[in-house]
Chains A and B, each alone.
Chain A
């Protein structure tokens, strides 16, 4: 079973093969062939991930580092002693991520077969989707920060390509889509700038980017002491084993050793920082990267716009997997974050604030996918806040459960959109010319009463809603409760301010979650149809509903993998915090959540109360005549609703204070520096004019007056000489004969003269 580890390159290579096949033979294969290749590649990657999980279990959760064939010596600079291999890391964290990415990814691929049916660029869509899987799996399986960065940028590229997939839709929609794609890419540049700086400083500090070297186990020097009694056998607490590794250690163990010893300084040339300060710097820069990719304040603005992409893309990339890359990265770097308390505080503050603000904005949105987008941002805020309060296991647990129920919700919304478009087509068919331009299949105001028309979508959507709202026993309950409790415990037990603040913000955000999700369910499915399209909507095809059902089952059940310790009955039945125990082998600072009956009851009651409130606001009477949101009609909530509807003017704020000033600065620079200074002054005044003067001087003084005149002079002289010499050519033969004679005589004289002189003795 050991050699299952060697299969890990396949997890990347199989989707790569899939995309290459579809890239070169997509047109010939047809929709059916393309679907089989793409879904098959994703499914096989999932099978590999399962085999790797089995290998993990069988080897006692031993981490393995597997070199990629061919690329093993990826970057080697002998003179600088730099070696960055292309190596995969199989440990419990990467296996968890692989399972989530490929598992949810396969279901979404399957769903997309139905959703994208008939699209003119069907093969291209699946090429991009498989490419996304390739990069996402590189991101989570790499054994060093550089591979993670490659994956990180690659998924960003796929995100860009897929958001703008319908760039040529008519009526200006295509422009909006490609604008959204560019916005996502550009906003992510800001975050990636932080990440790449963090990676560079990491390299400068440690001289390597490997997480752990081969055969090296995480050292956990403080964990047991901090937790009180060790709850679990630590993952091979092999300090001496780690020391036995020849050569430099991986970054995390090196960091532990330096932290333990203390007093290590990092020399940055001009300044020298203590190791602790360096870690704070690195973690803050990593956080900037995470705020970009995982859509946190201040860089979350791209995610709502990213909903311009096809709905399976929103589900896979912008809900389940890619946006969780930031959380994965911070959990991977848990050793750093654990040591950097200030950074952790910032992380918690940003996460909790994002959760609350995005949850608030979601209350006032009309677009079915935008609500879910803000919901995603909010849930990502939960995960980030969990990282900030040190609940790394809870963050990954919530990541996994969220991947299931948010993928479910997005796919459900896609199914609703599909049904609405179908109904609209059906309703306008027959009345030619009666095409209402205002119709938008994504607008909640046009829906209503879809419960009867689309029962499967309704029930699965309901499962997703209950899961995200945190109703026991759905998945969201377990993960969200663990985050809430861990955050409260961070406040009470460790006296961390971030714990208290985070707890209050997150609890409020959880109530918002339940409210806006029930608002959405009411507007979509309950009441009576408010538009002909909704009245004629039809349930989606089997290929779309089967993934919905599987995901609904997962949303119900996946929470049971991590039942907190102390939970009555279930804890005894299913084993306590199985998932955390699994994760602990690769995340040294993961710790298991306990269970507080009081808090759990309170959270569930809060969610139920929010649902009840939503139900009473969006009651059947309000739903029947929905022109405006009931919240907007009520004078007490009007202002709040307007704010939420306008997204807190966040985009406008950026436009006023960032984009326009930036653009004006660019205009100013273009006008003053480029045009006035560089063009008018440097180029024209300093370069062109002296050059012209010099060439003019050369032309007149040198070329015309010296060179031309000297050669003209030669010509004139030759002509003058010729006009004189021609006079001796008279044409009279005897004159020529005479000159010949005199010439001959002259020659004779020249010859004879010396003889005569000698004869005369002169």
Chain B
């Protein structure tokens, strides 16, 4: 491949596709685990865009941001999965349509 570098537009496009897939997943899926995974997908889509632009502009700031996002995502997974386990134990279901106790 060498000289023929992949254009940054493609990375961004892929990132956008992944993001939209994640967003659709969040909006449309009923299973909490899957919603959760979709959120992860959106985060990583953003990560991809950040890395792509970082490379485009030869700046370390994007890489740095990505590490932060990955750290936060890991923490989120830990907290989120724990919540889901707790919810499952009480409601015997992780269908988020059953979870509307906060209805105003």
A residues apposed to B, CB below 8 Å: 726-734, 737-738, 741
- Contact across chains for A730 and B103 when beta carbons are under 8 A apart: yes
- Taking CB as reference atom, which chain A residue is nearest B24? A741
- Contact across chains for B27 and A737 when beta carbons are under 8 A apart: yes
- Contact across chains for A726 and B26 when beta carbons are under 8 A apart: no
Q: Which of B48-56, B59-67, B93-101 touches A?
A: B93-101
In the assembled complex, how far is the CB of residue B15 from the closest CB belonging to chain A, in whole angstroms?
15
Query: Residue B2 at the A interface, CB < 8 A?
Result: no
- Contact across chains for B27 and A734 when beta carbons are under 8 A apart: yes
- Taking CB as reference atom, which chain A residue is nearest B96? A733
How many residues from B make CB contacts under 8 Å with A?
13
> Contacts of A733 on B, CB cut-off 8 Å?
35, 96, 99
Cα distance, A351 to B26, chains bound together (Å): 127
- Taking CB as reference atom, which chain B residue is nearest A737? B26
In the complex, which of the residues B23, B96, B97, B102 contacts A729, with contact meaning CB atoms closer than 8 Å? B102
In the assembled complex, how far is the CB of residue A476 from the closest CB belonging to chain B, in whole angstroms?
117
> Contacts of B103 on A, CB cut-off 8 Å?
729-732
- Contact across chains for A731 and B26 when beta carbons are under 8 A apart: no
B residues apposed to A, CB below 8 Å: 23, 26-28, 35, 96-97, 99-104
- Contact across chains for A731 and B99 when beta carbons are under 8 A apart: yes
Cα distance, A734 to B103, chains bound together (Å): 13
- Contact across chains for A726 and B96 when beta carbons are under 8 A apart: no
Cα distance, A169 to B104, chains bound together (Å): 89
> Contacts of B26 on A, CB cut-off 8 Å?
734, 737
> Contacts of B96 on A, CB cut-off 8 Å?
732-734
- Taking CB as reference atom, which chain B residue is nearest A729? B104
> Contacts of A734 on B, CB cut-off 8 Å?
26-28, 35, 96
In the assembled complex, how far is the CB of residue A724 from the closest CB belonging to chain B, in whole angstroms?
11
- Taking CB as reference atom, which chain A residue is nearest B100? A731
Cα distance, A732 to B99, chains bound together (Å): 7
Q: Could you list 15 examples of A-B contacts with CB < 8 Å?
A: A726-B104, A728-B104, A729-B102, A729-B103, A730-B100, A730-B103, A730-B104, A731-B99, A731-B100, A731-B103, A733-B99, A734-B27, A734-B35, A734-B96, A737-B26
> Contacts of B101 on A, CB cut-off 8 Å?
731
In the complex, which of the residues B27, B28, B35, B102 contacts A731, with contact meaning CB atoms closer than 8 Å? B102
Cα distance, A731 to B28, chains bound together (Å): 16
> Contacts of B100 on A, CB cut-off 8 Å?
730-732
Most buried by A among B28, B101, B102, B104: B104
> Contacts of A727 on B, CB cut-off 8 Å?
104
- Contact across chains for A732 and B97 when beta carbons are under 8 A apart: yes
- Taking CB as reference atom, which chain A residue is nearest B103? A731
- Contact across chains for B27 and A741 when beta carbons are under 8 A apart: yes
Cα distance, A232 to B6, chains bound together (Å): 152
Smallest CB-CB A-B distances: 6 pairs: A731-B100, A729-B104, A731-B103, A726-B104, A731-B102, A733-B96
> Contacts of B27 on A, CB cut-off 8 Å?
734, 737-738, 741
Please give 14 more A-B residue pairs, beta carbons under 8 A apart, in addition to A728-B104, A733-B35, A733-B99: A726-B104, A729-B102, A730-B103, A730-B104, A731-B101, A731-B102, A731-B103, A732-B100, A732-B103, A734-B26, A734-B27, A734-B35, A737-B26, A741-B27
> Contacts of A731 on B, CB cut-off 8 Å?
99-104
Cα distance, A360 to B28, chains bound together (Å): 133
In the assembled complex, how far is the CB of residue B30 from the closest CB belonging to chain A, in whole angstroms?
8
> Contacts of A738 on B, CB cut-off 8 Å?
27
> Contacts of A732 on B, CB cut-off 8 Å?
96-97, 100, 103
> Contacts of B23 on A, CB cut-off 8 Å?
741
> Contacts of A729 on B, CB cut-off 8 Å?
102-104
Cα distance, A731 to B23, chains bound together (Å): 19
Cα distance, A737 to B23, chains bound together (Å): 9
Cα distance, A730 to B97, chains bound together (Å): 11
Cα distance, A732 to B101, chains bound together (Å): 9
In the assembled complex, how far is the CB of residue A726 from the closest CB belonging to chain B, in whole angstroms?
4
Cα distance, A728 to B103, chains bound together (Å): 9
- Taking CB as reference atom, which chain B residue is nearest A725? B104
- Taking CB as reference atom, which chain B residue is nearest A736? B102
Cα distance, A733 to B27, chains bound together (Å): 9
Cα distance, A737 to B27, chains bound together (Å): 7
In the assembled complex, how far is the CB of residue A730 from the closest CB belonging to chain B, in whole angstroms?
6
- Taking CB as reference atom, which chain B residue is nearest A730? B103
> Contacts of A726 on B, CB cut-off 8 Å?
104
Cα distance, A731 to B101, chains bound together (Å): 6
Cα distance, A471 to B101, chains bound together (Å): 129
- Taking CB as reference atom, which chain B residue is nearest A738? B27
Cα distance, A402 to B96, chains bound together (Å): 126
In the assembled complex, how far is the CB of residue A380 from the closest CB belonging to chain B, in whole angstroms?
105
Cα distance, A726 to B102, chains bound together (Å): 11
In the assembled complex, how far is the CB of residue A743 from the closest CB belonging to chain B, in whole angstroms?
13
Cα distance, A727 to B104, chains bound together (Å): 6
Cα distance, A734 to B28, chains bound together (Å): 7
> Contacts of A728 on B, CB cut-off 8 Å?
104
In the assembled complex, how far is the CB of residue A379 from the closest CB belonging to chain B, in whole angstroms?
110
In the assembled complex, how far is the CB of residue A75 from the closest CB belonging to chain B, in whole angstroms?
86
> Contacts of B28 on A, CB cut-off 8 Å?
734
- Taking CB as reference atom, which chain B residue is nearest A723? B104
- Taking CB as reference atom, which chain A residue is nearest B23? A741
Cα distance, A728 to B102, chains bound together (Å): 11
Cα distance, A726 to B103, chains bound together (Å): 8
> Contacts of A741 on B, CB cut-off 8 Å?
23, 27
> Contacts of B102 on A, CB cut-off 8 Å?
729, 731
> Contacts of A737 on B, CB cut-off 8 Å?
26-27
Cα distance, A762 to B97, chains bound together (Å): 46
- Taking CB as reference atom, which chain A residue is nearest B101? A731
In the assembled complex, how far is the CB of residue B95 from the closest CB belonging to chain A, in whole angstroms?
11
Cα distance, A726 to B96, chains bound together (Å): 20
